[in-house]
Amino acid sequence: MLKKVLIANRGEIAVRIIRACAEMGIRSVAVYTDADKYSLHVKRADEAHSLGDDPVAGYLDPLRIVNLALQTGCDAIHPGYGFLSENARFAELCEQYGVTFIGPKSSVIQQMGDKTAARDSMRAAGVPITPGSDGNLANLDEAIALATEIGYPVMIKATSGGGGRGIRRCDSEAELRQQFPRVISEATKAFGSADVFLEKCIVNPRHIEVQILADSQGNVIHLYERDCSIQRRNQKLIEIAPSPQLTPEQRDYVGELAVKAAKAVGYENAGTVEFLLTGNQVYFMEMNTRIQVEHTITEQITGVDIVREQLRIASGLSLSYRQQDIQYRGFALQFRINAEDPKNDFLPSFGRITHYYAPGGPGVRIDTAIYTGYQIPPHFDSMCLKLVVWALNWEDAVDRGQRALDDMRLHGIKTTATYYQQILNHPDFRQGHFDTSFVAGHPELLNYSEKRHPSAVALAIATALAAHAGW
């Protein structure tokens, strides 16, 4: 079993991993830059070490992090999500210096991170993929010829892309001519590669992803699916497990496809296989070779601690479960509470949290690293907490989500919480009828009024009195 793990991440996912380590008797080492020196993950780990004054650079320096792991006597590194989590060079350095990378092998990260190589692997394994280029596009003329053949709309995507970046939809040749150089420019800046490919755009699909676990003995299982269709500009907002839109036959099919995909590339550890569904047709989209932000809802419906399984797998142990052991119960929803102002085009709203109260009660879980007085830095992703609710049936889960969002108090910044309540109130959502066009197709949901809760008024009065009295 692993003895000491360095967590090459920050915020709520770092806290999540620290908790799993503590339960398993594994010592945890946190890293931070000056912008994060007051972050909760720094306070909760057994040790914490600075990566310097640059807010972001330290988190993106693979050699420095591996060296720090060696200096502090760590036998493993957990990359979390984002930053270096899908960086093949980082995993390769861990392998080179004898530090266990808690994830798949570097060669698998490289293969699945290259979107064209991933498509080739899935095609060979018999996993359905969207019509498109067989490899990277040589030039604009090739893109136009292929788009004419398969029909518009099409998607131009960065081969090394991810997180919704390096991707453009083109509805005509004119748009393709306009967007092609933009995607190349964005891909070069964001991912250091100008390679792009083209595929048929599946209009208004459902975005379904399947959580898998695989050990070093060749055992692979799935933990059922999550529905991530509620998204804005390819960024997920609300995630649901299991999908209220799948039939039992569809659920079994996508689960089997995900296991087949993982076995085809010799996958190890936790990962997610993402699909687009339109009618009864399923298409492979990509594979995320890391833990997902939304792993929480899979844990809620299956009872499987995914991070604990990651640590066990990295220790060389076999999976704790067989496929027949995995059952799901009820429905879970995760709300990404972002520090953004939905009524101002989702502009980031960083700043000091003057008051924070976490919702609770049956079936409510919070994953966060914030607290009252915490200053949300402007250098990172805007998500400040994940609110997860669970109930035995879909209707009760939606109602519980409404109640938990209403219970939460988060003052000092703007958040997406009230906007999510408008989504939950919409009859199509409550009936489980939605796809990736839901947010864009319902701009009226942004026309809500900000109601001021009595607690906010009381807090404002107390703050004013305290300031006047010189408390």
Q: What are 108-159's pLDDT values in tens digits?
A: 999 999 888 999 999 999 999 999 998 899 999 999 999 999 999 999 999 8
Single pTM value for the model? 0.92
Q: Would you tell me how many other CB atoms lie within 10 Å of the CB of residue 83?
A: 21
From-to residues of CATH 3.30.470.20 in the chain? 206-454
Indicate the fold that domain 4-102 takes in CATH.
Answer: Rossmann fold (3.40.50)
Lowest mean pLDDT among 84-93, 383-392, 446-455, 462-471: 462-471
CA angle 375, 377, 381 (to 5 degrees): 125
Q: Would you tell me how many other CB atoms lie within 10 Å of the CB of residue 34?
A: 14
Q: CATH top-level class for 131-200?
A: alpha beta
16, 206, 290, 336: the active-site residue: 290
Question: Contact 121/265 with Cβ under 8 angstroms?
Answer: yes
Q: Is the pLDDT of residue 307 over 90?
A: yes
Relative to beta strand 331-338, strand 351-352 is: unpaired
Which three-class secondary structure state does DSSP give residue 235? Answer: strand
Q: Is the pLDDT of residue 455 over 80?
A: no
Active site residue 290: yes
From-to residues of CATH 3.30.1490.20 in the chain? 131-200
DSSP annotation of 296 reads: H
Q: Is the pLDDT of residue 313 over 60?
A: yes
| C-alpha closest to that of 133 among 183, 123, 125 | 123
Q: Would you tell me how many other CB atoms lie within 10 Å of the CB of residue 33?
A: 21
From-to residues of CATH 3.40.50.20 in the chain? 4-102
**Crossing angle of the two packed helices 106-113 and 88-97, in degrees rounded to 10:** 170
- pLDDT > 70: percent of the chain: 95
pLDDT tier for residue 466 given thresholds of 50, 70 and 90: low
Looking at residue 464, its pLDDT comes to: 53
Q: Which residue has the higher pLDDT, 147 or 164?
A: 147
Looking at residue 176, its pLDDT comes to: 97
Question: Contact 111/121 with Cβ under 8 angstroms?
Answer: yes
Looking at residue 160, its pLDDT comes to: 82
pLDDT tier for residue 356 given thresholds of 50, 70 and 90: very high
- pLDDT > 90: percent of the chain: 90
Q: Is the pLDDT of residue 220 over 80?
A: yes
Q: Which two tokens stand for residue 127?
A: 């996993």
**Crossing angle of the two packed helices 306-314 and 295-302, in degrees rounded to 10:** 100
CATH number for the domain whose boundaries are 206-454: 3.30.470.20
Task: Give pLDDT tens digits for 59-71.
Answer: 999 999 999 999 9
